[in-house]
Amino acid sequence: MKNRGQPCMAMATELAFLENRLLDIAPDAMLVVDPSGRLAYANGLAEALFGYPPGALAGQSLASLIPRHLREQQTQRFADYIGHPHPQPVGAGPALSALRQDGSEFSAEISFNPLRTASGIFTVAIVRDVSEYGRIRQALERTATELEEKLLARNTELLQVNAKLRQQIAQRAQTEAALREAEAHYRQLVENQPDLICRFLPDTTLTFVNAAYARFFGQPPQNLIGKRFIDFLSPSERADVSEQLAAFAPERPERQYEHKTVRADGIARWHLWHDFALFDHRGKAEHFQSVGVDISSRKEAEESLFAEKERAQVTLHSIGDAVITTDAAASVQYLNPVAEQLTGWSNEEARGRPLRDVFRIVNEQNREPAPDPVAFCLQNGGTAGLDNHTVLISRDGKEYDIDDSAAPIRGRDARILGAVLVFHDITATRQWARQMVHDASHDALTGLVNRAEFEKRLERAVSSARQYGARHAVCYLDLDQFKTVNDTAGHAAGDELLKQINSLLSGMFRERDTLARIGGDEFGLLLDNCPLDRALTIAQTVVKTIRNYRFHWEGRSYQIGVSIGLVPITARAGNTPELLTQADVACYTAKESGRNQVHVYQPSDGEPAPRHGEILGATGLQEALEQGRFRLYYQPIVALGEENYRTVRHEVLLRVAHQEGPKKNSEPVLPAAFIPVAERYGLMGAIDRWVIQAAFREHVVRSGQIGVRLAINLSGTSLSDQALLDFIEAQFAKYGLAPAQVCFEITETAAIHNLRQATQLMVVLKRYGCQLALDDFGSGLSSFHYLKTLPVDFLKIDGSFIRDIINNPSDCALVAAINQMSHTLGLQTVAEYTHNQPTIERLRQLGVDYAQGYFFGKPAPWDQS
């Protein structure tokens, strides 16, 4: 019996050796835990993973591998598992903290699998360091192949051992049980692998598949074994597989590739396959073993990244901004088409070049190189933008005004990888801004400096005279006979005359001097650093030049003159308004003294009474504005086509109440007495704003009494006010008044004298929803072609044509022509100065749409209108 037992013991010893050897070659750290929770065995990977020397883990408590703060929780988890042991696939459990011998912790995935033996239920723990999952996965894939090969080799040996054991009757039952246990153990190791594992013959007949493989294809293993997997492929795939299998050789026993396979439920998954070939002694392939790792998540991420990159590329190609990207050394990596166009460099030519070669920028004003925004953001790690006035010089020398921003491109570790520069062409915008700045300080008709800018320069001259004793001179020029040209030849002739006067005078002065248009036919001249005697000589030369000039228009010749008032600017000079007043008085004196001459203002000079009174009136007008003595009056505008003459809107008119004194309760001052003064001394802009605000406020407060629209007059001064539109919009918002309830009236003369500004203003007001009327139409003898430019809704026919329409056939014919022409253009007409019933009837016969005059109501305060 002893001799008979020796083969059995040897076989059992060999089985134990095979089992331990199998654990040692496993791709994961594996621990065998006995029922008491102690480690019965640990393979080499487990000892290395936990930092123990060989054999040191055996006998240790499983709890010693768990950090102290988690031991109680994890020990309980293991106890729960022992109570209900069941297989756990690798990777199904959560990541846990594990403890190495040196006290360091690492993140691990642990799965338990029961191992039933004659001694009881042991637990096989598979431990993975997920912090280095990629490396372990690769090792697992290689080890899986080795394991399978060794398993196959061992399986043959076991069969031989089993045959020998059958001869040992005494040990038969024990040996068979050991073999079954070992086989189950080996299969369990393979079956629990989450990867797809199979073996097949050179003709692709499957000889083995693990559970994961069978589940993936939705078939039990027995239905797959013996089948050729090539039969399930498309013809093109069959050819590829045959070609690839034929390429295996002893010197090339393995290959790796990615393949997309459709699962049994129709869902496609990507796998990374490792194929291994086993060769016989002649070098002919006998078997193939394949392990497939699911990489679908990685492929999805790659595809998402590729799609995102494609979207980014399409976006960069389609956006209107120019985009340049660089690396961390500021070398160009990419230009989109807009950047190619602006820089003059193609993407291919620019790639790899320093950004400074492709993106050449200078300061517009001093032509010095502008700071590089990309260099700034690469150095400082923040966004950067260009200074104002930056110009991009294209490769062909063309220049663009640009605006830009640059930002760093960072990697996952926040390290700067490069920069992205986004810029766009703002040449047109800057040109428009320059034009706006120019328009704000220059007269639109002549291109000369306007009154506001002239006053600023005059103020600087006064300051230099007071501080440094500099001597300057200011002249006030008023053209003689201008009104004759304007009234007889029309506004177009008057405009041309002003332009020619500008051309005539501009070349006579130094660059430091300032010639400005400060009124309709009035000019200002500031002579910088010019003593009085020299200024007088210059002014007399101007008088002589204009006196000898002849203006020609449509076959007629006009003689023009000029009267000039001259005021020296010294350290004792008054302020700017006082100097202008003195120059104006001196100019008036020159006119009263016979015109075409220069008069130098002297403090002892007497001021002509009419002019002096007008100047005082300007001061009083300013005081009235400040003291709130302006009053709104309203006159109805009615519809002539309705029998009851329904009121459709009220024109807002202005009066000035007298201040305290004998005239306090007398009739208020009419516009004819103060509007010319306000226009001459630059007060109309402030008055217009006061009227707009006061009319909006009263209309909102008392709208229940009237319920009709307002007609508000705008002066020629306001047409050049750049901020007026913002003011009007703010008043609409403040009082909640609908723009459709307001009609703005602009006189024909003001509109034509400021045609460009008037058109711009009207277009925006029209966009708001306001209505527009051209007032006093026909008074300026202007061509009707202006109406095609101005976006008006109504023409108000000048009262001079209406007043005597019954007795004057010419007036009647003119009104009929204006009315017919207006209707042809889609405009409605309003007749002014309607004072009796016969006039009303005649207007109705002519088809005039609306009327306004004393017959329907005199101007009156709101509560009396």
Q: Encoding tokens for residue 641?
A: 């086509």
- Going by their DSSP bridges, the two strands 522-527 and 630-639 should be labelled as unpaired
Tokens in use for 423? 């810029």
Beta bridge partners of 561: 480
Pair 745, 790: CB distance under 8 Å = no
What are the angstrom distances between the C-alpha of 349 and each of 352, 355, 739? 8, 12, 56
φ, ψ of residue 478 in degrees (nearest 5)? -125, 120
Question: Of 61, 13, 314, which Cα lies nearest the Cα of 182?
Answer: 13
Nearest CA to 30 out of 192, 172, 164, 177 is that of 192
Report the alpha-carbon distance of residue 543 to residue 501 in Å, rounded.
12
CB proximity list for 460: less than 8 A, separation 6 or greater: none
Please give the full DSSP string across 518-580, using - where no structure is assigned: -SSSEEEEEETT--HHHHHHHHHHHHHHHHT-EEEETTEEEE-EEEEEEEEE-TT---HHHHH
Element (H, E) at 140: helix 133-166
C-alpha distances (whole Å) from 773 to each of 159, 490, 562, 651, 822 are 112, 21, 35, 11, 12
Which residue carries 């076989």 as its tokens?
11
Q: Confirm whether 521 is a catalytic residue.
A: yes
Q: What SS3 state is found at 640?
A: coil
Q: How far is CA 168 from the centre of its chain?
A: 89
| Neighbour count for residue 630 (Cβ, 10 Å) | 19
Q: Are 790 and 771 in contact (CB under 8 A)?
A: no
Give the CA angle between residues 808, 810, 812 to the nearest 5°. 75
Q: Which of 476, 494, 483, 596 is nearest to 545 (CA)?
A: 596
For tokens 């040692």, the residue is: 24
The single-letter DSSP state of residue 369 is B
Dump the DSSP string for 598-637.
EEE--TTSPPPHHHHHHHHHHHHHHHHHHHT-EEEEEEEE
Query: Which residues have C-beta within 8 Å of that of residue 529, sequence separation ≥ 6?
Result: 470, 471, 472, 512
Euclidean distance between CA atoms 335 and 349, whole angstroms = 10
Active-site residue (options: 28, 478, 521, 775): 521
Question: What are the catalytic residues?
Answer: 521
